[in-house]
């Protein structure tokens, strides 16, 4: 099965060499991507990507987290300059220096976060940043602005009063406004025909019925603009796209017409990864929990945890020495669940038990005192203080041990603690006084783990522990986590990386739409497949497929 996936991946590039496929000859490409390559440090995030999108069509771009979709969009919208490769816009060279520069050439982007100002009337938001075009003698001609905004709203067939306050419309309407602005503003105001619009997960926050309205809007707007959109929801990608491009690990592994593929095939193209990739340490297997460990009471027991808008009725437990993985899509609620266990967000209801005792006050300092450590996903803002030394960063959580009775800080003890961590976790640094900002991402992450390892924690919660970490350090971090587990630490790993989720975990929980949808055994001999997990995360009909795959 894996072989099959691999073969598809290898054969497709030739199929897309022509770029335009199955689309009428007369539609020239609106945008062409030619051999785009980009690296972040040692990691290649885009690897010679080439494709073209014909004018007036919709291109869906799919891939796992970290496949390179955002980087591609960042380059197209001028936020990032590629290391190699080039772009062509309407058959002319296109090398945007900045977002503004891209905008001036008719390439705009609708971000996941809304960029409208709620307190302003709709028409001002629709023309935001271009008010000067409506000024005469220093006075703003509101009448002209309103008229122009009406043309945008009418062309998009939206039922919106442009003089109304933007904040009074609900989320989906505001999003429609943003998309309408992106598609229509260039042609109606700037006089650019054939603008290109990049939509970043446009439906992630929409309810199902709002999605239908969104589809209709995008189909209408296709006459005004060429649209590229990124989405995790494969059904909608299939329903709306004229062509679909699949990214995986920075490569374009397939370009397909929606008629040629179904959802399952897309899944497979997205996640099919050659087994035996160095960090996929399945063969190593989890450290078996000894007989006494299994029967002992769990270190962490979560019972019916709920927080409105974040997660609902979640129950699970982690035994000493066990690594439990939590997977799910971006807004599945898994990150907030991890933060709740770390005491950073307080669940509205439910109980967290540590060693069997319910935690009365769920706050970070009390969780730390109970032996819980948290390694956040945002390393540079929440994990380490980059300007300070390794010793300072490692000792930060051990104030109880590093303070004398009189309240003095034991710098010597802190320094030797850090020296030991540098040796034990093999942090590449010449000493504990070295500033953390001079270390590589992987070594910074080891500093965060060392902070907790120094306390001999009972439970370690990690959110995407190897994001932005190169392959070598990744393996070392996995080895560290296994070692901690072998020493009896209960470990909870929340991750977007499927290989990591499967390879590292003894058990896996999947969250979808804030709810717990599956619990899977993931011992070495019963590892689930990536496809099966994705199907559970997406909650599509593909779950039947995954069952058959697990049998094979």
Partner 1 sequence: MSTLANAPDASRSGAARASLLARWRSLLPVGVVLLLIVVFGLTSDAFLTPRNFTAIAGQASTLLIACLGASFIVVMGSIDLSIGAVVLLTGAASVLTLNAVPIGAGAVLVGFGLGGILGLVNGLVFAFGRIPSFVVTLGTMSIFSGLALRLLDGRAIAYDSAAFETLAIGQWIPRLPNIALIALVLWAVLVVVAMQTRFGRYVFTIGAGESVARIAGVPVRRYKIYAFILSGALAGIAGSLAAARLSAAGPTLGSDLLLNSLGAIVIGGTSLAGGIGGVQRTLIGVLIIALLDNGLNLNGIDQYTQMGIKGVVIIAAVLVSQPLASIRSVK
Q: How far is the CB of 339 from partner 1 (least distance, A)?
A: 9
Tell which one of 259, 407, 525, 526 touches partner 1 (CB under 8 A): 407
CA angle centred on 480, ends 68 and 339, rounded to 5°: 65
- On whether the CB atoms of residues 272 and 265 are closer than 8 A, the answer is no
Alpha-carbon span 444 to 19, nearest angstrom: 41
Give the residue carrying structure tokens 């996903």. Answer: 377
| CA dihedral for 264, 509, 208, 165, sign (positive or negative) | negative
Give the residue carrying structure tokens 């329903």. Answer: 239
Alpha-carbon span 138 to 148, nearest angstrom: 19
Task: Tell me if 369 contacts partner 1 by CB under 8 A.
Answer: yes
Helix (H) or strand (E) holding 15: helix 2-15
Q: How far is the CB of 454 from partner 1 (least distance, A)?
A: 11
Task: Tell me if 470 contacts partner 1 by CB under 8 A.
Answer: no
Task: Tell me if 397 contacts partner 1 by CB under 8 A.
Answer: yes
Task: Tell me if 412 contacts partner 1 by CB under 8 A.
Answer: no
Task: Tell me if 286 contacts partner 1 by CB under 8 A.
Answer: no
Q: Which residues contact 471 (CB under 8 A, 6 or more apart)?
A: 278, 279
Helix (H) or strand (E) holding 297: none
Task: Tell me if 382 contacts partner 1 by CB under 8 A.
Answer: yes
Question: Mind giving me the DSSP string for 307-368?
Answer: ETTTEEEEEEEE-TT-EEEEEE-TTSSHHHHHHHHTTSS--SEEEEEETTEEPSS--HHHHH
What mask of x and - would describe binding to partner 1 in positions 87 to 126, judged by CB under 8 A? ----------------------------------------
Q: How far is the CB of 368 from partner 1 (least distance, A)?
A: 3
Task: Tell me if 42 contacts partner 1 by CB under 8 A.
Answer: no
Task: Tell me if 41 contacts partner 1 by CB under 8 A.
Answer: no
Instruction: Tell me the HSE value of 226 on the side-chain side, using a 13 A CA sphere.
Output: 23
Span of 235-243, 404-412, 515-523, 526-534 interacting with partner 1 by CB under 8 A: 404-412
How many residues touch partner 1 under the rule CB under 8 A: the total is: 32
Smallest Cα–Cα separation from 315: which of 526, 539, 519, 485? 519
Alpha-carbon span 326 to 461, nearest angstrom: 11
Tell which one of 356, 399, 431, 472 touches partner 1 (CB under 8 A): 399
Smallest Cα–Cα separation from 263: which of 58, 549, 534? 534
Q: How far is the CB of 411 from partner 1 (least distance, A)?
A: 8
Q: How far is the CB of 373 from partner 1 (least distance, A)?
A: 9
Q: Which residues contact 239 (CB under 8 A, 6 or more apart)?
A: 215, 258
Tell which one of 225, 270, 368, 473 touches partner 1 (CB under 8 A): 368
Tell which one of 163, 381, 416, 544 touches partner 1 (CB under 8 A): 381
By three-state DSSP, how is residue 508 classified?
A: strand
Task: Tell me if 258 contacts partner 1 by CB under 8 A.
Answer: no
Alpha-carbon span 61 to 501, nearest angstrom: 24
Span of 68-76, 382-390, 506-514, 533-541 interacting with partner 1 by CB under 8 A: 382-390
Tell which one of 144, 344, 359, 479 touches partner 1 (CB under 8 A): 344
Task: Tell me if 472 contacts partner 1 by CB under 8 A.
Answer: no
Please give the distance of CA 111 from its chain centroid, rounded to a whole number.
Answer: 14
Q: How far is the CB of 81 from partner 1 (least distance, A)?
A: 18
Tell which one of 69, 267, 451, 467 touches partner 1 (CB under 8 A): 451
Nearer of residues 461 and 502 to partner 1, judged by Cβ: 461
Nearer of residues 291 and 387 to partner 1, judged by Cβ: 387
Span of 17-25, 120-128, 135-143, 400-408 interacting with partner 1 by CB under 8 A: 400-408
Q: How far is the CB of 441 from partner 1 (least distance, A)?
A: 13
Task: Tell me if 237 contacts partner 1 by CB under 8 A.
Answer: no
Instruction: Tell me the HSE value of 466 on the side-chain side, using a 13 A CA sphere.
Output: 24
Alpha-carbon span 376 to 334, nearest angstrom: 12
Tell which one of 72, 254, 402, 480 touches partner 1 (CB under 8 A): 402
Span of 106-114, 192-200, 367-375, 510-518 interacting with partner 1 by CB under 8 A: 367-375
Structure tokens at 486: 């072998």
Question: How many C-beta atoms lie closer than 10 Å to residue 387's C-beta?
Answer: 9
Nearer of residues 353 and 410 to partner 1, judged by Cβ: 410
Contacting residues toward partner 1, per CB under 8 A: 342, 344, 364-365, 367-369, 374, 376, 381-388, 392-393, 396-397, 399, 402-403, 407-409, 411, 435, 437-438, 451
């Amino acid at each position: 099965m894996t072989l099959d996936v691999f073969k598809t991946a290898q054969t497709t590039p030739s199929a897309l060499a022509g770029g335009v496929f199955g689309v009428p000859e007369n539609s020239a490409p609106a945008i062409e991507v030619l051999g785009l390559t980009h690296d972040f440090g040692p990691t290649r995030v885009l690897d010679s990507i080439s494709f073209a999108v014909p004018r007036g069509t919709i291109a869906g771009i799919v891939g796992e987290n970290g496949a390179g979709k955002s980087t591609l969009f960042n380059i197209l919208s001028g936020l990032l300059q590629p290391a190699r490769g080039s772009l062509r816009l309407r058959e002319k060279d296109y090398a945007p220096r900045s977002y503004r520069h891209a905008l001036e050439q008719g390439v705009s982007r609708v971000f996941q976060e809304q960029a409208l100002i709620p307190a302003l009337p709709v028409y001002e938001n629709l023309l935001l940043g271009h008010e000067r075009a409506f000024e005469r003698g220093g006075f703003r001609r509101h009448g002209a602005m309103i008229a122009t905004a009406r043309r945008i709203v009418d062309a998009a067939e939206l039922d919106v009063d442009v003089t109304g306050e933007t904040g009074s419309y609900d989320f989906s309407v505001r999003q429609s406004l943003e998309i309408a602005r992106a598609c229509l503003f260039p042609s109606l105001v700037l006089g650019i025909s054939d603008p290109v619009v990049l939509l970043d997960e446009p439906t992630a926050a929409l309810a199902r019925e709002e999605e239908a309205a969104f589809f209709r809007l995008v189909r209408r707007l296709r006459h005004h603009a060429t649209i590229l959109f990124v989405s995790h929801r494969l059904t909608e990608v299939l329903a709306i796209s004229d062509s679909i491009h699949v990214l995986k690990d920075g490569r374009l592994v397939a370009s397909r017409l929606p008629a040629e593929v179904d959802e399952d095939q897309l899944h497979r193209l997205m996640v099919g990864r050659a087994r035996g990739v160095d960090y996929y340490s399945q063969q190593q297997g989890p450290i078996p929990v000894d007989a006494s460990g299994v029967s002992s009471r769990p270190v962490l027991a979560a019972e019916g945890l709920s927080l409105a808008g974040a997660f609902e009725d979640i129950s699970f437990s982690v035994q000493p020495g066990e690594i439990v993985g939590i997977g799910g899509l971006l807004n599945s609620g898994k990150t907030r669940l991890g933060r709740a266990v770390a005491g950073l967000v307080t669940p509205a209801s439910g109980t967290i038990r540590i060693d069997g005792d319910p935690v009365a006050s769920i706050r970070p300092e009390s969780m730390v005192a109970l032996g819980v450590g948290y390694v956040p996903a945002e390393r540079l803002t929440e994990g380490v203080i980059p300007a300070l030394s390794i010793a300072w960063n490692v000792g930060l959580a051990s104030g109880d041990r590093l303070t004398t009775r009189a309240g003095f800080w034991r710098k010597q003890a802190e320094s030797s603690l850090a020296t030991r961590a540098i040796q034990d976790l093999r942090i590449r640094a010449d000493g504990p006084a070295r500033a953390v900002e001079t270390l590589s991402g992987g070594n910074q992450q080891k500093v965060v783990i060392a902070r907790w390892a120094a306390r001999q924690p009972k439970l370690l919660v990690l959110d995407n522990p190897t994001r932005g970490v190169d392959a070598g350090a990744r393996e070392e971090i996995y080895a560290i986590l296994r070692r901690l587990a072998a020493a009896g630490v209960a470990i909870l790993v929340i991750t977007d990386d499927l290989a990591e989720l499967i390879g590292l975990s003894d058990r896996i929980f999947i969250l979808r739409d804030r709810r717990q949808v599956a619990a899977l055994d993931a011992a070495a001999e019963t590892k689930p497949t990536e496809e099966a997990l994705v199907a559970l995360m997406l909650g599509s009909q593909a779950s039947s497929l995954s069952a058959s795959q697990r049998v094979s």
